[in-house]
Chains A and B, each alone.
Chain A
Amino acid sequence: MPQLFPRVANTLPTLSLIGVLGGGILVTLLAWYYLSPEFYEVGYQPEQPVPYSHALHAGQLGMDCRYCHNHVEQSPHANVPPTQTCMNCHSVVQTQSPDLLPVRESWATGVPIQWVKVHHLPDYAQFSHAAHVNVGVGCESCHGRIDQMTVVAQAEPLSMGWCLECHRNPEEYLRAPEDVTVMGLAAQVRSDDDTWQAYLTANRERIAREGIKPPQNCSACHY
């Protein structure tokens, strides 16, 4: 009786074992990357009801973030401005713009504009803007270069690991509280090694002086 399987078939179990293991590792790696917030959260850029451009207002016109997000220093929420804030200027500027029609409508009817939320934290994570902005965590550290975004997109993953990166190494991210709204500072301090080292040293001194201890325990945010 001839051999049912050729000799080469002897390698099949080994190959399939390698295949299963390798495939498993590959699937794990793929899931690790593609199912992570870095992949599927960063870059989320929904269409907004009004084509409001941060690049124009915050970038070109240089408006302070806190002109519109005016409760960011007091409240856990960085409030999205009421229609009233838009109309402070737009009752005299661009009064005929078709893009601003929803704003004028909202102002006339009192029905709020429904903005689409971009930066979304889970309900079980309690984040306070006030607690961060007042000690010198810059807007751009979490929101990226808002001043260059025509349509706002999520710049950072906002995952817990990402939060902890800063909570563990605050010296790499802290800035003077008066500089929180400055855009581009993060890139500037990393521009060359000397600046960077000076920045780190200054921050370490401040951390020691002011006793800054970002919490890392669960109930700091989860309750």
Chain B
Amino acid sequence: MIELDVLSAADLAADDDARAAHGKPLPWRSAADRTSAPGMAALRHHEFAPGAAPEAEDAETSRRTFLKVMGASVALAGLTGCRRPVETIVPYARKPQEVIPGLPNYFATAMPFGGVGHALLVQSHEGRPVKAEGNPEHPVSQGATDAFSQASILQMYDPDRSRHIHYREAATGNAGQADWAGFVAATAAIRGAGRLVVLAEPTSSPTLLGLRADLLAAAPGAQWITMGAHGDDHGALGLQAAFGRPVRPLMRFSEADVIVSFDGDFLDDTQAGVWNSREYAQSRRADARRGAGRSPMSRLYVAESTMTTTGGMADHRLRMKAGQVPFFAAAVAAGLGVDTGARGTLPPEHRAVVEAIVQDVRAAGGRAAFVAGPSQPPAVHALAAALNGRFGARTATYLDTETPPVAPVGPAIQALVRDMRAGQIGALVMLGTNPVYTLPADSGFAEAMARVPVTVHHGLYRDETGQRATWHLPAAHYLEAWGDVRALDGTLSVIQPLIAPLYADARSDVEVLNALVTGRNNAGYDLVRRTMQSRIGGIAGGLEDAWRTALHDGFVAGTGYTAVGAAAGTPSLADLRAPAQTTGNTVELVFRTHPTLHDGQFSNVAWMQEAPHPITKTTWDPVALMSRATATRLGLGQSEESGKAYCSVARFATGEGKTATMPVWIQPGHPDDSVTVHLGYGRSLATDRTIPERGVGERINTWLRPGHTETDVYRPGPIAHLAGAALDGGPTVARAEGIRSLANFSVFPGATVTKVAGDYLVASTQDHGSMEGRAIVRSGTVAEYRADPKFAQDEEAFIESTPWEAYPPLWGEENSASNDPRIGQWIYSDNQWGMTIDLNACSGCNACVVACQSENNVPTVGKEQVSRGREMHWLRVDRYYVGDEDAPGMITQPMFCQHCENAPCEQVCPVNATSHSPDGLNEMTYNRCIGTRYCANNCPYKVRRYNFYNWTKTLPIEVQMANNPYVTVRYRGVMEKCTFCVQRIRQTVQYAHIEDRQLRDGEVTTACQQACAAGAIVFGDLKDPRSAVSRSKTSPRNYAVLGELAVKPRLTYLARLRNPHPGLATPFDASEAEA
């Protein structure tokens, strides 16, 4: 037996002192962590944040409460059912041929999002879609997805989706429900009502674009305004100006030696994020690129106006106001001999970086890549294209998107509102758009809408616009309707429905538009097939063959856009003015789409509200990001207490009647005098759902414990209303959309800030699971890697000096699972599962988090519970900062069960609910668990999650339909954690066994691995020396987190590599100077 020391308070304090005295700047997770603020010691040392355990909640348990509980228990004792529940089996009356009950079918389809299609392969159980995966054969997806595609499953099952057609008579205001036939009949009147205007989202659907042309031809004077919810697409506008037609960049970062981003968060991009993440990760594979006679890794320079995932991956990151970035870009261009006429000065601290970029780009020889972000004016996008034309011949391709020309939204809306007010608009059709919500408050759109005789709104939700429109038509989700769409590279996909619309009134956009154009009720299938007839009907075998192939493959090969030649000339930046020095209480305000809610399309999806923001790790609430210096100047701040963040609240004003109120978040690495706010909050949705009465048990619970936690985030109404609900004035005060200006949707140069009284609790997970500042994340430069490939290995080399076999297990040799000689005789021991995660590829984009949630039925718990540290995510992405708070480096690290071979959790479970499987999994048996939480307490990685409540029982039935039938839904009082997707392992092994063959490498994939576009996660059989994971583990960068504990984790990490310019300093330098 090993004698274990008991940790005393003195030891804990000494531990902290040692950390401070170490002198080596270690990675930190928050300001409180960095300065070891009071309370952090307790937070680091404990399994959960104080308050997570129910004791604190019940501190006021009195004799009275005790009597209440006892009384209720006695009363309920007689009510407990003693009858066997009768379950029925409901087979089909006529079984569809392709359905085998119990086995899923996979259908290829595509999700239209951000104007492009994301090719998917969706898993369907007896007609119920439950999991979206990327289409492995599609040139863009290659099997990977982003978080939005994953979450779209839950969006389809969203109980707050609009269910009925609503009709509101404009003259009398009488509202009621109508039917589809009524709408189709009314389309004649709509067409004849006068001038028709359509406000539609950007789309690449050939059918929609065809109907658009039909509409414009059929109705003279009709106007089509393309309006993304995030405002103008500066990239499209800039490139259109440069190329003379709408084009889109397709960046091959894998070919790049140097990448320069002008405020472009290209790794977290709704259109190209999946493509860019893969391409970028390939450019960073130092081992693979070695020997090709090229630089081993690309070098990434990022100048940005907020901390982003791309900035976190950068070798050199400069923080600057969004208004300053064009002048930085101009300086880079000038250094490269491209004159833009920009009149701005470069701060001295940027000069060295510009010189380094110029030097690198010149050395790259056509292997440079320039990217501009949505906050930048069109001219900067055009400049990036011009630079790519000269220096990025091998990296940048510009594709002709074959769409009608784009136009600035602002002037079009101004003219439209003027005409609406003047009564010149006969009918207004809003296809998927929500202008009342997305347009600035002073655009006057909402009031002008009342002056239009007929307004038609088509959308998934009866949102702000839908509630005001004459006709509200519920949209069919893409999983419910036929459609077509083109991917990032133009590859054409048919959108194939997997389920009939959940709500009979729902129609797709093509069906609605077709009814408007033709007055006929054509099925979407026929409309899409007609389009495909013209596109692929000529292929050998005829339309039927081509159609079936397209449906099966999920795309039509060889339909990509064609590349266009180089950009014409250099854009002039002479008109741009340098941002004025902001003084007093004014700041530059930058509007960004939210990394998880996007522009509000995912506001009502619980997975996305609870997925932590990749950088701030905040959930459920809008926050305004600013630097500490700016916050101090404005008298704002943020304090942390026992892991809970209390933030000042600020009101941002950009003009008459244009204010938004939101809590302030101090963001390391944020530029001074600039504030980042996110779109997607401040929603007001109307739901057709009837919220059921509380059950007896729930009512008793409420009575017993007033103010007790809601175990159902859907109970209070639409999810979107929960975000910012605690703000004074309700959630809608946080609507950032309203304070934008029509002239520039992205940046407002001089917003005034006033402090609002009171502090606001923001539920952030950033300090949850903090691991005492040990060398959890490791990184080094390429040069260091070359000099010492094993730089990431343990300095103490505990395991190397003490062979694993010699290390005595706690319970003696005979009871150690991994040492049991009988194990070799058991099934499953043929494979030994293991995983590596390449920190060099992981940008922390959240796709894996949501994929895991979807695959494993991980519940969402709501803001209050997250703030207590009770979030249930099996997979969290830890984000560490390194260095100075003003300009830190960043590393992200996905953290979940490490499947230790000598697992500390297994040794403390009193009921053997967690044990070891012969194939090396740390198994969690829910039905054995009695909820002592000893295991979580003993887990050095803090990856176990405890069900403090039954999160699933009271969920609306629609939401429960999104559950994966292969994974047990956990009950209250049960511990859970990552299982390495054991359900996939077991099924694959079973069927390999039935087919009497060996498993193939890569046959079993975990959900996180499958979603990851960067290929950061490798999973497989460690027993097979040729498997991808075995080869990955031989990398000298491979290290085990907390390996010194000799727990032998099966999940190991490959250290991050950086490729800094030799002449420039990085935030990591200080920490490495010591090493």
In angstroms, Cα B826 to Cα A213, docked, is: 5
B424 at the interface (CB under 8 A from A): no
Give the docked Cα–Cα distance between A131 and B917 (Å): 19
In the bound assembly, the distance between CA atoms of A97 and B764 in angstroms comes to: 67
Do A215 and B827 touch across chains, with their CB atoms under 8 A apart?
yes
Distance in angstroms between the alpha carbons of A62 and B312 in the assembled complex: 70
Docked complex Cα distance between A217 and B920 (Å): 11
Interface segment out of the listed B362-370, B795-803, B924-932: B924-932
CB within 8 Å for A217 and B91 given contacts A77-B101, A223-B968 = no
A164 to chain B: which residues have CB within 8 Å?
none
A223 lies within 8 A of B93 (CB): no
Smallest CB separation, A177 vs chain B (Å):
10
**Chain B residue at minimum C-beta to C-beta distance from A83:** B93
Complex Cα distance, B924 from A107, in Å, reads: 44
Per-position 1/0 for A197-220, Cβ under 8 A of B: 000000000000000011111111
* Bound Cα distance A131, B827 (Å): 13
B970 to chain A, nearest CB (A): 9
Q: Find out whether the CB atom of B967 lies under 8 angstroms from the CB atom of A77.
A: no
Q: Is the CB of B990 within 8 A of A112?
A: no
User: Which chain B residue lies CB-closest to A79?
Assistant: B101
User: B983 within 8 Å of A by Cβ?
Assistant: yes
Interface flags for B981-1012 (1: CB within 8 Å of A; 0: not) read 01100110011011000000000000000000
Contact B994 A134 (CB under 8 A): yes
Contact of A222 with B by CB under 8 A: yes
Across the interface, which residues of B come within 8 angstroms of A28, CB to CB?
none
**In the complex the two chains form, what is the Cα distance from A77 to B95 in whole Å?**
15
A112-B90, A115-B88 known; A219 and B923 CB under 8 Å?
yes
Name the contact of B93 in the complex, choosing from A84, A123, A215 (C-beta under 8 A): A84
Q: Tell me if A114 counts as interface (CB < 8 A to partner B).
A: yes
* Category for how many chain B residues contact A: 35 or more
* Distance between Cα atoms of A122 and B85 in the complex (Å): 12
* Contact call A110/B93, Cβ cutoff below 8 A: yes
Measured in the bound complex, the distance between the Cα atoms of B1003 and A96 in whole Å is 52
Complex Cα spacing A76 to B987, Å: 9
Residues of B within 8 A of A107 (CB): 93
Q: Which of A82, A110, A120, A131 contacts B994 (CB 8 A)?
A: A131
B828 contacts chain A at the CB level, 8 A cutoff: yes
Decide: B968 and A115 in contact? CB cutoff 8 A: no
B102 A71 Cβ-Cβ under 8 A: yes
B89 near A115: Cβ-Cβ < 8 Å: yes
Task: Say whether B979 contacts A223, CB under 8 Å.
Answer: yes
CB–CB A220/B986 < 8 A? yes
The complex places the Cα of A39 from the Cα of B542 at a distance, in Å, of: 65
Give the distance in Å from the alpha carbon of A110 to the alpha carbon of B917 in the complex: 46
* CB under 8 Å from chain B, chain A span 132-171: 134-135
CB <8 Å contact, A71 and B101: yes
Task: Kindly state whether residue A44 has any CB partner on chain B within 8 Å.
Answer: yes
**A108 to B, closest residue via Cβ:** B93
B435-453 interface code vs A (CB 8 A; 1 in, 0 out): 0000000000000000000
A75 touches B928 (CB 8 A): no
Question: Quick one: which of B90, B826, B924, B983 contacts A215, CB cutoff 8 A?
Answer: B826
Closest to B917 in A: A217
Q: Find A112's partner among B92, B100, B918, B969 (CB 8 Å cutoff).
A: B92
Nearest-CB distance from A111 to chain B (Å)? 6
**How would residues 918 to 954 of chain B score, 1 for a CB under 8 Å from any chain A CB and 0 otherwise?**
1001011111100000000000000000000000000
- Complex Cα gap A109–B86 (Å): 24
Q: CB < 8 Å: which of A71, A75, A117, A222 contacts B89?
A: A117
Interchain CA distance A216-B93 in the complex, whole Å: 38
A106–B979 Cα distance when bound, in Å, is 42
| B990 in contact with A116 (CB, 8 Å) | no
A75 contacts B102, CB within 8 Å?
yes
Nearest CB in chain B: distance from A196 CB, A:
25
**C-alpha gap A80/B95 in the complex (Å):** 11
State whether B983 touches A223 (Cβ < 8 A): yes
A130 at the binding interface (Cβ < 8 Å): yes
A120 to B101, CA, bound (A): 17
Shortest distance between the CB of A208 and any CB in chain B (Å) = 11
Chain A residues with Cβ below 8 Å from B101 are 71, 75, 77, 79
Q: CB distance B95 to A84 under 8 Å?
A: yes
Closest to A214 in B: B827
Which residues of A (77-128) have their CB < 8 Å from a CB of B?
77, 79-84, 106-107, 109-117, 120, 122-126, 128
- Using A71-B102, A117-B87 as known contacts, say yes or no to A82 and B986 having CB atoms under 8 A apart: no
Once bound together, how far apart are the Cα atoms of A120 and B89, in whole Å? 11
Judge if A46 is at the interface, Cβ distance under 8 Å: yes
In the assembled complex, B684 has its CB within 8 A of some CB on chain A: no
Q: Are B828 and A215 in contact (CB under 8 A)?
A: yes
- Tell whether, in the assembled complex, residue A216 and residue B967 are in contact, meaning their CB atoms are under 8 Å apart: no
Q: Is the CB of B966 within 8 A of A126?
A: yes
Given the complex of chains A and B, what is the CA–CA distance between A177 and B1075 in angstroms?
A: 63
Let me know if A195 is at the binding interface, CB within 8 A. no
Residue B63 CB within 8 A of the other chain: no
Across the interface, do B990 and A120 meet the contact criterion of CB distance under 8 Å? Answer: no
- Chain B residues 63 to 111 lying within 8 A of chain A, measured CB to CB, are 84, 86-95, 100-103
Which of A126, A218, A223 is packed against the most chain B CB atoms within 10 Å?
A223
Write out the residue numbers on chain B whose beta carbons fall within 8 Å of the beta carbon of A131: 990, 993-994
- Interchain CB contact under 8 A, A218 and B917: yes
- A191–B848 Cα gap in the complex (Å)? 57
| Complexed CA–CA distance, A215 and B103 (Å) | 22
Chain A residues with Cβ below 8 Å from B982 are 219, 223
- The complex places the Cα of A96 from the Cα of B549 at a distance, in Å, of 46
Q: Which residues of B contact A134 (CB under 8 A)?
A: 994
Determine which of B969, B986, B991 lies in contact with A126 in the assembled complex, contact meaning CB atoms within 8 Å: B986
Q: Are B917 and A219 in contact (CB-based, < 8 A)?
A: yes
Contact (Cβ within 8 A) B927 A213: no
Interface string of B825-867 (1 = CB under 8 A from A): 1111000000000000000000000000000000000000000
B915 within 8 A of A: yes
- A residues 39-94 in Cβ contact with B at 8 Å: 44, 46, 71, 74-77, 79-84
If A217-B828, A218-B915, A222-B927 touch, whether A112 touches B93 (CB-CB below 8 Å) is yes
Q: Chain B contacts of A83 at CB under 8 A?
A: 91-94
Partner of B91, one of A44, A115, A213: A115
Instruction: List B contacts of A113 (CB < 8 A).
Output: 90-91, 93
Known A71-B100, A75-B103; contact A218-B88, beta-carbon cutoff 8 A? no
* A120 adjacent to B87 (CB under 8 Å): yes
Give Cα distance in the complex from A122 to B89, angstroms.
15
Pairwise interchain contact B925-A116, C-beta atoms closer than 8 A: no
Judge whether A217 and B990 touch: CB under 8 Å. no
In the complex, per-residue mask of B225-242: 1 if CB is within 8 Å of any chain A CB, else 0: 000000000000000000
Q: How far is the CA of A215 from the CA of B982 in the complex (A)?
A: 14
> Which of A46, A79, A214, A217 meets B86, CB within 8 Å?
A46
Complexed CA–CA distance, A114 and B927 (Å):
29
Partner pick for A220 among B828, B968, B969, B991, CB 8 A cutoff: B828
Bound: A76/B101 CA distance, A: 8
Q: Is B92 within 8 A of A223, CB to CB?
A: no
Q: Which partner residue on chain A sits nearest B921 by CB separation?
A: A219
User: How many Å lie between the Cα of A74 and that of B987 in the bound state?
Assistant: 11
| Nearest residue, chain A, Cβ from B970 | A124
A interface footprint on B802-833 (CB within 8 Å = 1, 0 otherwise)? 00000000000000000000000111100000
8 shortest interchain CB distances as A-B pairs: A77-B102, A219-B923, A75-B102, A213-B827, A82-B95, A117-B87, A82-B92, A218-B925
What are 18 A-B interface contacts by the 8 Å CB criterion? A75-B101, A76-B102, A77-B102, A79-B100, A111-B93, A115-B90, A117-B86, A120-B87, A124-B927, A125-B927, A126-B966, A130-B994, A215-B828, A217-B915, A219-B917, A220-B917, A222-B926, A223-B968
- Taking A46-B86, A116-B89, A124-B927 as known contacts, 14 extra A-B pairs with beta carbons closer than 8 A to each other, sorted by chain A number, are A75-B101, A77-B102, A79-B91, A79-B100, A80-B89, A113-B93, A122-B927, A123-B968, A125-B927, A126-B986, A130-B990, A131-B990, A220-B986, A223-B967
**Footprint of A on B, CB under 8 Å?**
84, 86-95, 100-103, 825-828, 915-918, 921, 923-928, 966-969, 979, 982-983, 986-987, 990-991, 993-994
